[in-house]
Amino acid sequence: MIIVDTLAIYNELRQTLGDEAASKMAQIIQGLYQELSHTVRKEDFDELKAVVKDLAEAQRKTEAHLDTLTERIGELPEAQKRFEVNIWGEARRVQKIF
């Protein structure tokens, strides 16, 4: 939070502007400083942009991995069928031996 020494500002302005004008100017300056303390600095915004960029890249990689997993899961039924055919073939071969 930005702290403004409004008394020092007032005292400095009072010498040339008078009491009323100096008081009003000090209030305006304090208000401006308070508003500025609630604004986003360029550094903060740049940091936020970098984080969003990193998150977007992570999301892209996650989606690519998910696509790969979905593809592999789609291959499971065929692999299961091949496994069962092989097992039943081996079972028949073992039965012929005994």
Query: What would the pLDDT profile of 25-46 be if each residue is shown by its tens digit?
Result: 999 998 898 888 888 889 999 9
Same domain (yes/no): 96, 76: yes
Residues 25, 10: Cα–Cα separation, whole Å: 8
Same domain (yes/no): 94, 63: yes
Same domain (yes/no): 53, 88: yes
Overall number of domains in the chain? 2
Same domain (yes/no): 26, 47: no
Same domain (yes/no): 64, 90: yes
pTM: 0.50
For 16, the domain range is: 1-39
Of 8, 2, 33, the closest CA to residue 22 belongs to 8
**pLDDT value, residue 87:** 93
